[in-house]
Amino acid sequence: MEESSRLTSKGLATRQRIVEAAADLVLARGVGATTLDDIRAGTSTSKSQLFHYFPGGKNELVAAIAVFQSERLLDAQRPHLDALDTWPSWEAWRDAVVAHYASQPHWGCPIGALVSELSRSDPELAAIAKAQMDKWQGHLRRGLARMRRAERLRPDASPTRLALATFASLQGGLLLTHAAESIAPLEAALDGALVALRAHAA
The residue segments making up the domain with residue 16 are: 3-63
On whether both 159 and 87 belong to a single domain, the answer is yes
Give the pLDDT confidence score for residue 5 in this predicted structure. Answer: 57
Dist CA 194 CA 86 (whole Å): 12
- Nearest of 37, 45, 41 to residue 16 by alpha carbon: 45
- Residue 56 makes CB contacts below 8 A (sequence gap 6+) with 3, 63
The answer for 149, left when phi > 0, alpha when psi is -120 to 50, beta otherwise, is alpha
Identify the segments of the chain with pLDDT beneath 50.
1
Is 125 in the same domain as 174?
Answer: yes
For 22-61, the pLDDT digits (tens) are 998 898 888 988 889 999 998 888 889 899 999 999 999 9
pLDDT at 171: 96
138 and 188 part of one domain: yes
Domain total in the chain: 2
102 and 77 within one domain: yes
Domain-terminating residue out of 37, 63, 89: 63
pTM: 0.88
